[in-house]
Structure 1
Amino acid sequence: MQQAIFKLIAFLLLVISCELSAESTEAPMEYLHGLGKVDYFLLEDVREDDSIQVYHIYVRNSPSAADGHKLPTIYLLDGGINFPLLSAYYQLLRLMNTVPEMLIVGISYGTSDWKKGNARAFDFTLPAKKQQHWGGAKKFEAFLAHSLIPRIEQHYPADPHKRILFGQSVGGQFGLYTSMYGESPFHAIIASNPALHENLPLLITPIQNPTDRPMAYISLAENDSARFRQPALKWSKHWFERSPDWKRKVVHLEQHDHLSANPEAFRQGLRWIFAQPSF
């Protein structure tokens, strides 16, 4: 009886040991083959108050990286979600030759919690009276132009003449800002359901040198909440007959809401951008 108890205890200890070992094993990412070959590095940006903002950068490299030719590069805002989502979706689009070969760069905060470092509400937005923490778009654009993009183009076969930005919600607001008013290191942007509800007047001011602005693909979801959809419709109506020299396209995505539209905006936006003779 005593021997049986010892055997049972030994068996339970073995099971517990195996479970602890399994819990401590790092998940092998290479078996998620739809994400492709992924590289990672960390970038830091010093704020005006001397605090440090951390960005986690994920890069889907290309099998053609070794042959020397340059590739278009798409930069994904909210990369903590959009990089795994759209990088895997890109794999399917490539299998059907829907889009050309690209590099994909995801810009992630590593968290959805602003208290733990998610600064999207500041980075992606123009100032807003009711949102004191908004207004960092110009600084974030400078970080992209002078820190992130040069590093990508130094270490990867990224075509400096074919940079695309993808942003959703306030990330879409940043896309509109950089394509309409900013210094814009990009040549095209995709803005999915841009959130303009707090500062629409800033995005309907005249555009300087519209012929030199990046082309813009803007998608508005049919089932987006009125809070976001109504200001976006006002923006679209305002620009419908203005600045005809600024190349842009506004589409309405049926049966989509504020958060479901990203893959379709990604697919349609890329197809439109690559169909343009100037790209």
Structure 2
Amino acid sequence: MEKRWVLFWVGIFLQGLTASSQVLISGRIIDAVRLTPLAWVHVTHHSSRLITQSLENGQFTLSLPSSSSNDTLLFSLVGYRERRLPVQELLRTRSSTIITLEEQSTILKSVHIRQSKLKERTFGIRKRSPLIHFTDGMFKATDSVEIGQAIMLGQDQSPITSLQLYVTESRKDSASFRIRFYRIKQNQPTDLLWESSVFRRGPIQEGWLRFDLQSANLTLNGTFLAVLELIPEPGSAALKPLSYEIKLGGRSKSFYRKKNSDPWHTPPHHYCLSVTALVNPSLQETEVPETIPVFSLFSKAVADTFHLFVRLPPSYPRSPKRSYPVIYLLDANAYFDQVSELSSSSIPESILVGIGYKDAYLMDSLRIRDYTYPAAPASDSLMLSGGAERFYTFLTTELIPEIDRRYRSIPTNRTLMGHSFGGYFTLYALHKESLGTFVFRNFIAASPSLTYADGYLPQVFRLSSPSTNHFVFLTLGETEGSSATFKDFSEILHKHSTLQIQSKIYPRLDHMGTVLPSFQEGLQLIEK
């Protein structure tokens, strides 16, 4: 059952160790030259995906299946060379196991700072609404996660003075962080530019959590990624996660990963994370502007006004006689800008129409009203729900005719895509097509809320018989904890011979992490 967006979604991932017996690996990790303990070293056993981190004194402990004696462990820490050691070797010396890691030097280019009067300015996500708060719920207190926000400075080397993250809830527990900066190339984080561990002891107060970096003598320029790693401590399972704010919508670049050996992922939101730097006074504090709706449309069916975002393909103004497929995107207040960039590279020759509300706060409240059917039971505490039939009428009899009137569209080539409850409505619309209509050709349902209303949709599809040929892309995150329901529903759809079904479970991704990968891959499959 999907909770309110103000909390977002917490992916639940419980992986049990089922071996009949276990072996315990422990030791101490130190710097090979200084012989000082190394904290937060990742110790990874790839076969079982088990991972731990060393403590501040360099100590680590990892319990492995007894069958792992022929495997190896990977020791990794940014700034040091990775080291692999056989489990058998570690078992032989378990009483006095010392692992040394060699520092990996990076030669930096010489920098020149212009001798002019500099002014301290803030870059990144620095503005937030005092009335609307959205909190990231993607991670648990036990996750070692890195969150990063793209920062755009000028070409001059500028001293970095601080890094800030907005915390939405005070916490009395201590916390540990690591700050990193990465270069961004081709829209992906690449080279590590700088890192430092910061350990905060004492209460964390609601508001801007500030890390002073003046003593680091760090200078950066151009576009880079400012990263804050949230490091779990002993006893983290009993702590509540650090509650920090996120921003919906906009074209800023944000990234996250759950450990530094993972690839970077793009979240469907942005982190309220910024840096201050001493820059030339002519360099202004700017944020990437959000796309504004092209027009609004009052729906008689829903008795409410919707705000529509539109991106035309690059060739549209140059090809006045050409018509284009149309992609209809739900939850446009949150996803339009990012999907607009995805579609430019994935399927550029289409019209993208985002269906949104006045603002993200109303989207959070009204999406459940419009995307669900039937009405939720009182026990679910959803005040507004069950309006999918009215919303479907709005789409088919009010919005689509308006889009066809305004733009050169191909009526037989429409795609509908949504995530979570939006994915639920996407499948609801697919069900409506089985009743004899043909409105959409393609359906992309990312992490649909299949358990809503006691599994209403799976039950409906068991009894329906789609009579037209549609393409359906159905996805789930591996850590969502509902794979059995997803696989069962996929099998139900595969039994309908008229449907072209492709389903995918994304490894290591949670509920919110599937949004952009699902939309991108779904559009690429449609292109093929």
The TM-score, its normalising length taken from structure 1, stands at 0.73
- 2-structure distance, mates of 1:180, 1:213: 13
- 2-structure distance, mates of 1:230, 1:111: 35
Q: Cα distance, 1:239 vs. partner?
A: 3.6
Q: Cα distance, 1:100 vs. partner?
A: 4.2
Aligned match of 1:102 in 333, 350, 355?
A: 350
- 1-structure distance, mates of 2:301, 2:343: 34
Partner of 1:185: 439
Q: Cα distance, 1:107 vs. partner?
A: 0.7
Q: Cα distance, 1:230 vs. partner?
A: 4.6
2:313 corresponds to 1:62: yes
Partner of 1:149: 400
The answer as to whether partners of 1:204 and 1:239 remain within 8 angstroms in 2 is no
Alignment of 1:71-150 (within 5 A): 71-91=324-344, 93=345, 98-114=346-362, 118-127=365-374, 128-129=376-377, 130-131=379-380, 133-150=384-401
Q: Cα distance, 1:112 vs. partner?
A: 3.5
The answer as to whether partners of 2:314 and 2:349 remain within 8 angstroms in 1 is no
Q: Cα distance, 1:218 vs. partner?
A: 0.6
Q: Cα distance, 1:173 vs. partner?
A: 0.6
Change (3 A) 1:102 1:32: farther
Partner of 2:476: 220
Partner of 2:412: 161
**For residue 485 of structure 2, what is the amino acid of its counterpart?**
P
- 1-structure distance, mates of 2:507, 2:514: 9
Partner of 1:251: 504
- 2-structure distance, mates of 1:112, 1:33: 15
Give the structure with the larger helix fraction: 1
The answer as to whether partners of 2:428 and 2:457 remain within 8 angstroms in 1 is no
2:479 corresponds to 1:231: no
- 1-structure distance, mates of 2:522, 2:316: 24
> How many pairs were matched up?
232
Partner of 2:513: 260
The answer as to whether partners of 2:324 and 2:408 remain within 8 angstroms in 1 is yes
- 2-structure distance, mates of 1:54, 1:104: 19
- 1-structure distance, mates of 2:371, 2:486: 16
**For residue 125 of structure 1, what is the amino acid of its counterpart?**
T
Q: Cα distance, 1:117 vs. partner?
A: 8.0
**For residue 336 of structure 2, what is the amino acid of its counterpart?**
F
- 1-structure distance, mates of 2:447, 2:295: 29
**For residue 140 of structure 1, what is the amino acid of its counterpart?**
F
Gaps of 5+ in 1: 1-30
Change (3 A) 1:209 1:239: closer
Aligned-pair Cα RMSD in Å: 2.8
Give the structure with the larger strand fraction: 2
- 2-structure distance, mates of 1:45, 1:146: 10
- 1-structure distance, mates of 2:438, 2:354: 18
Q: Cα distance, 1:46 vs. partner?
A: 3.2
Q: Cα distance, 1:185 vs. partner?
A: 1.8
Q: Secondary structure at the match of 2:502?
A: strand
Q: Cα distance, 1:172 vs. partner?
A: 0.3
Q: Secondary structure at the match of 1:212?
A: coil
Q: Secondary structure at the match of 1:105?
A: strand
The answer as to whether partners of 1:222 and 1:255 remain within 8 angstroms in 2 is yes
Deviation string 1:58-86 (CA, Å, 9 cap, x unpaired) is 10123322322111111110000110111
Q: Secondary structure at the match of 1:261?
A: helix
Aligned match of 2:451 in 190, 193, 197?
A: 197
Q: Cα distance, 1:265 vs. partner?
A: 0.7
Considering only CA atoms, is the larger Rg found in Structure 1 or Structure 2? 2
Q: Secondary structure at the match of 1:190?
A: strand
Change (3 A) 1:111 1:184: farther
Q: Cα distance, 1:150 vs. partner?
A: 0.9
Partner of 1:44: 298
Q: Cα distance, 1:123 vs. partner?
A: 1.0
Q: Cα distance, 1:138 vs. partner?
A: 1.6
Deviation string 1:221-268 (CA, Å, 9 cap, x unpaired) is 1122x2x5553333224444x223222111111222111212211121
- 2-structure distance, mates of 1:57, 1:90: 17
- 2-structure distance, mates of 1:235, 1:185: 23
**For residue 490 of structure 2, what is the amino acid of its counterpart?**
S
The answer as to whether partners of 1:187 and 1:214 remain within 8 angstroms in 2 is yes
Change (3 A) 1:124 1:39: closer
- 2-structure distance, mates of 1:122, 1:33: 29
Change (3 A) 1:103 1:260: same
Deviation string 1:116-171 (CA, Å, 9 cap, x unpaired) is 88421021111133456322112111101111111111111211111001100010
The answer as to whether partners of 2:334 and 2:360 remain within 8 angstroms in 1 is no
- 2-structure distance, mates of 1:194, 1:156: 30
**For residue 202 of structure 1, what is the amino acid of its counterpart?**
L
Q: Cα distance, 1:47 vs. partner?
A: 5.4
Change (3 A) 1:100 1:111: closer
Partner of 1:11: none
The TM-score, its normalising length taken from structure 2, stands at 0.40
